[in-house]
C-alpha cells in the first residue's frame, strides 16, 4: 500500500508562530500557571499535547478566579476584541498576545475603515472566534454575511462600504460575493463605484494557495483521509474541496474513528488536513497504517 502525507498540509505560518510562542512561554514561566483564552487552535489533539505541558484553557469569565500574581494568560491565534484587553487590565492579568499576525492586521484594517465612517461587511461566521474579535474593534457595528441573500437583506447601499473576509473562508465564494455586491453598488454609483465600494481580500493566502495542491493530491489517491478538528473553519472548507476532487475522502478528528481493517482494499491512501492539523498527528496515522499493511513487505 502506498501511503502519502500531503506536503502542503500542516500548520500555517500564523499557527506555527502561535504554538512556538506558547511553548516558549511554558518554558520561561515555569514558576507561573500559563493559561490560554479559549482553545489555542481548533485542533483537540494539539490542545491535549500542550495541556500535558501545563497549558490550561480558560474563558474571560475566569479572570477574577485566577491568581493574578502567579499567572500568565495567552491570547490565542484567533485574536480577541478590545474588551478582553480592558477586562484583563482591570483584573491585573498579565497578557501575552499570540494573535496570528494576519488576524492582527485584519483587525487594524477594520478599525481604520470604521474610524473613517465606512460600512463594514464581513464574509464569515458570526460567532467564530476571529469574527468576534473583528466585531469588537468596530463596536459590533458591522454586517456579518455568508451569502448574497444576507447582503441584500442587511446592506445599506447609501453608505460607503468595504467588504472583507474572515481569514479562513473560501476564496471562490468570497470573489462571487464581491462581484454580486459590486453589481448592487454599480447600479447606483456607476463611474463613481470605486469611491463607494471597496473589496479587501483578507483570506489567508496559505489557505487559498493550498486549494489546487489539495485537489491534485486528492486525485492521486484511491482514498483520502482528511484529519482536522471538527470545529475548524478552514478544515471544513478544505475537506469540501478534497471531497469534491475525490468523493472517496473521509473526515476524521481522531484516528480511533477509522475502521483500519476496511482500508486493506486500497492500494493508495493520502493523508491531509487543515492549517491547524499538527504534522505529528498525520505522521502518527501514517505510521499506524504502515505498520498494519506494509510491515515486513
- What would the pLDDT profile of 62-98 be if each residue is shown by its tens digit? 998 999 889 999 999 899 999 999 999 998 999 999 9
Q: How would you class 10 by CB atoms within 10 Å of its CB: exposed for 0-12, middle for 13-18, buried for 19 or more?
A: buried
Whether residue 133 sits in one domain with residue 93? no
Same domain? For 96 and 185 the reply is no
Question: What pLDDT score does 190 carry?
Answer: 84
Residue 75's CATH number: 3.40.50.11270
pLDDT at 191 (0 to 100): 81
Residues 159 and 233 in one domain: no
Residue 104 to residue 35: CA distance in whole angstroms? 20
Same domain, 106 and 180: yes
Q: Strands (DSSP E) along the chain, which ranges? A: 2-5, 33-37, 56-58, 71-75, 95-97, 119-123, 142-145, 161-165, 197-199, 223-227, 249-252, 268-273
Torsion, Cα of 223, 227, 233, 236 (10° steps)? 20
| pLDDT higher than 80, residue 243 | yes
Which of 154-158, 204-208, 279-283 tops mean pLDDT? 279-283
The single residue listed with the C-alpha cell 499535547 is 49
pLDDT on residue 297: 52
CB 162 within 8 A of CB 118: yes
Q: Is there a single domain that holds both residue 195 and residue 264? A: no
Confidence at 253, pLDDT banded by 50, 70, 90: very high
**Overall domain count for the chain:** 3
Whole-number mean pLDDT of the chain? 93
User: What CATH number does residue 146 fall under?
Assistant: 3.40.1010.20
What digits encode the pLDDT tens for the residues 14-69? 889 889 999 999 998 888 999 999 988 889 999 999 999 999 999 989 998 999 88
**Domain ranges, residue 122:** 102-166+169-202
Final residue of a structural domain among 54, 72, 100: 100
Query: Are 77 and 28 in a shared domain?
Result: yes
> Are 259 and 230 within 8 A, CB to CB?
no
Residues involved in catalysis: 130
pTM: 0.87
- The confidence score (pLDDT) of residue 209 equals 84
Amino acid at each position: 500500500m502506498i501511503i502519502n502525507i500531503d506536503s502542503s498540509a500542516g500548520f500555517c505560518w500564523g499557527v506555527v508562530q502561535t504554538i512556538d510562542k506558547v511553548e516558549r512561554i511554558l518554558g520561561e514561566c515555569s514558576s507561573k500557571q500559563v493559561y490560554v483564552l479559549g482553545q489555542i487552535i481548533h485542533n483537540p489533539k494539539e490542545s491535549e499535547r500542550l495541556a500535558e505541558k501545563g497549558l490550561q484553557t480558560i474563558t474571560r469569565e475566569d479572570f477574577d478566579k485566577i491568581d493574578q500574581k502567579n499567572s500568565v494568560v495567552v491570547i490565542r491565534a484567533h485574536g480577541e476584541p478590545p474588551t478582553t484587553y480592558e477586562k484583563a487590565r482591570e483584573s491585573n492579568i498579565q497578557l501575552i498576545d499570540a494573535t496570528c499576525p494576519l488576524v492582527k492586521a485584519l483587525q487594524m484594517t477594520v478599525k481604520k475603515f470604521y474610524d473613517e465612517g465606512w460600512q463594514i461587511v464581513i464574509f464569515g461566521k458570526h460567532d467564530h472566534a476571529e469574527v468576534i474579535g473583528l466585531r469588537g474593534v468596530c463596536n459590533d457595528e458591522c454586517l456579518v454575511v455568508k451569502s448574497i441573500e444576507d447582503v441584500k437583506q442587511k446592506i445599506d447601499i447609501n453608505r460607503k462600504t468595504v467588504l472583507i473576509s474572515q481569514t479562513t473562508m473560501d476564496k471562490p465564494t468570497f470573489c462571487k460575493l464581491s462581484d454580486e455586491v459590486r453589481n448592487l453598488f454599480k447600479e447606483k454609483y456607476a463611474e463613481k463605484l470605486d469611491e463607494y465600494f471597496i473589496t479587501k481580500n483578507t483570506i489567508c493566502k496559505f489557505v487559498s494557495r493550498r486549494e489546487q495542491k489539495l485537489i491534485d493530491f486528492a486525485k492521486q489517491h484511491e482514498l483520502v483521509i482528511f484529519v482536522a478538528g471538527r470545529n475548524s473553519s478552514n478544515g471544513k472548507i478544505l475537506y469540501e474541496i478534497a471531497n469534491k476532487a475525490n468523493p472517496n475522502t473521509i473526515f476524521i478528528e481522531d484516528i480511533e474513528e477509522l475502521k483500519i481493517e476496511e482500508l486493506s482494499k486500497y492500494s493508495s491512501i493520502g493523508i491531509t488536513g487543515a492549517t491547524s492539523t499538527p504534522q505529528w498527528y498525520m505522521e502518527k496515522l501514517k505510521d499506524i497504517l504502515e505498520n498494519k499493511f506494509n510491515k515486513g513487505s
